[in-house]
Chain A
């Protein structure tokens, strides 16, 4: 929003203000901070294409003297990272689509429809909003074991399809959809489901996108539950595989470790850079609501 009148203390020429010694000092300090923030990630990518011998060299080389894909080829050929990658992708996609859809459906019902049990359901959702995974993973494991689901994709997916935070977010968003819009659709003879899919979901696109991105990130980076729920290597997700490899060996190969970390982090960073405007916007609004 542009102010209608220029603020009294605002500088006439902001560019000039940005070239004062104080501003230059501030920006240099922030640049150093930026280096500290993204430096470790850059170092991860750079190191992942160094051979193990060069990685263990002191002092370290800033750029790889002898760039090589060998860490990646070993990761993919011997440590079945393609399998873990696929597991992570499949689980994250199903969790994202399923939980966003279910959250939108129940969020719509809670916001716009009157039904018996509505207050109770909303109270239960709010009451479990802050219950952390750390508190429920032991009984959840007992439950999943008794359902015969240990070591299955179902165990990795099902518990995350019901996301109280998603329901809360969607309900808040749906409250702002004008009732007239829904009434108009009903007058035109559209049933509740048609109204939902044709009118409500398109209106909710920004919220769906935000929740979808957050859910995908949460699933991709999730560690504790897949570590507990899955026992054979062919069901590992990427973080489980990397963590167990990094702690299970007597002599660690740092080249493999940083290459593995790159495989987990880099796709997410690329997506983040492409969508950063939406992500940052979404985070700020969920935080402020």
Chain B
């Protein structure tokens, strides 16, 4: 049968294409995903590194330890604070910029677009270092500027109250351009005549924004919210470089705590914590889908 021989040949060729990826994917992604679930239920430590199978099953003990640990609770609270403020802030600012850039009143649209997007391509570590310098209390640019208008700026990163807002501002600064660009593309996909029709019906700019732009842009806003939320839930480089989680744990994040427990050799505990984070990511994405999905 010529066709079945041909099919076999195509199948072989297809697996030839798929093989390099599939091998690496299985070894370096599927195995770790599966074994992180295994590790989360064991008492694995750094000393067991070479004998990962010679460990004890401890049931949910790691999860119980994580959830009752005041440090983890604080980190979880900090993470919610960070996501809860930074995500709406980022999206609102991105939407505002996108609408303004799309308004046809702007002089150099592509210059603005590039300028607002530029921070997105930067390394978080590098810009966290730069922001540490900007926020330096005695000679940093931020407090110098505040001083020039008579305000005595706080000692940002070593102040329990101000450290987290500083990280939130920095994260928003770095990420707003990403959502802005995607929202702008979404806005350009809305047909002009929808606006014209609503203008004929007497809708002003604010009414148009609420009744035309936001509903038609919902899927795009949802996409931006999910991507931004997933990124923010894992915030790690910012506290690592800028505050080491301080002062007094005020900027410690779940991701940073996972990394620290790994550093202490508590592999099982660390894996359990990362599962808690993963579940939080899934829940947040689900909630956003519920909130923002298009009613149909």
| Cross-chain contact B13 with A103 (CB below 8 angstroms) | no
Residue of A115, A135, A145, A284 with most partner-chain B CB within 10 A: A135
Tell me the bound Cα distance from A19 to B134 in angstroms.
Answer: 36
Decide if B289 is an interface residue (CB 8 Å cutoff): no
| Cross-chain contact A14 with B259 (CB below 8 angstroms) | no
Interchain CB contact (< 8 A) of B220 among A20, A43, A287 = A287
Tell me the bound Cα distance from A132 to B186 in angstroms.
Answer: 26
Asked whether A17 and B104 contact (CB < 8 A) given A59-B144, A276-B114, the answer is: yes
In the bound complex, residues from chain A placing their C-beta under 8 Å from that of B185 are: 284-285, 287-288
In the bound complex, residues from chain A placing their C-beta under 8 Å from that of B24 are: 102, 158-159, 161-162
Decide if B121 is an interface residue (CB 8 Å cutoff): yes
| Cross-chain contact B50 with A115 (CB below 8 angstroms) | no
Decide if B15 is an interface residue (CB 8 Å cutoff): yes
Closest A residue to B241 by beta carbon equals: A243
* Binding-face segment, A65-73, A105-113, A204-212: A105-113
| A135-147 Cβ-contact flags toward B at 8 Å (1 or 0) | 1111111110110
In the bound complex, residues from chain B placing their C-beta under 8 Å from that of A285 are: 185
Closest A residue to B182 by beta carbon equals: A287
Interchain CB contact (< 8 A) of A223 among B141, B237, B275 = B237
Tell me the bound Cα distance from A280 to B112 in angstroms.
Answer: 12
CB under 8 Å from chain A, chain B span 231-247: 234, 236-237, 240-241, 244
| Cross-chain contact A228 with B262 (CB below 8 angstroms) | yes
CB-based A-B contact count at 8 angstroms: 315
Decide if A23 is an interface residue (CB 8 Å cutoff): yes
| Cross-chain contact B52 with A142 (CB below 8 angstroms) | yes
| Total number of B residues with any Cβ neighbor in A under 8 Å | 104
| Cross-chain contact B182 with A283 (CB below 8 angstroms) | yes
| B1-43 Cβ-contact flags toward A at 8 Å (1 or 0) | 0000001011101111110111011011111110110010000
Tell me the bound Cα distance from A142 to B18 in angstroms.
Answer: 26
Decide if A264 is an interface residue (CB 8 Å cutoff): yes
CB under 8 Å from chain B, chain A span 18-69: 18, 20, 22-23, 26-27, 30, 33-34, 36-38, 40-41, 43-44, 47, 55-60
Decide if A181 is an interface residue (CB 8 Å cutoff): no
Decide if B152 is an interface residue (CB 8 Å cutoff): no
Interchain CB contact (< 8 A) of A146 among B50, B147, B193, B220 = B50
Decide if A192 is an interface residue (CB 8 Å cutoff): yes
Decide if B63 is an interface residue (CB 8 Å cutoff): no
Tell me the bound Cα distance from A223 to B129 in angstroms.
Answer: 14
In the bound complex, residues from chain B placing their C-beta under 8 Å from that of A125 are: 25
In the bound complex, residues from chain B placing their C-beta under 8 Å from that of A198 are: none
| Cross-chain contact B36 with A135 (CB below 8 angstroms) | yes
In the bound complex, residues from chain B placing their C-beta under 8 Å from that of A27 are: 105-107
| Cross-chain contact A138 with B21 (CB below 8 angstroms) | no
- Show 19 residue pairs from A and B whose CB-CB distance is below 8 angstroms, ordered by the A residue: A18-B105, A22-B105, A30-B97, A41-B119, A44-B133, A59-B147, A109-B17, A115-B11, A133-B234, A134-B274, A136-B36, A139-B31, A139-B39, A223-B124, A257-B133, A261-B130, A268-B121, A283-B181, A288-B185
Counting from the closest, the 9 A-B pairs by CB-CB distance are A284-B185, A115-B14, A192-B13, A287-B182, A162-B24, A162-B25, A113-B14, A261-B126, A239-B125
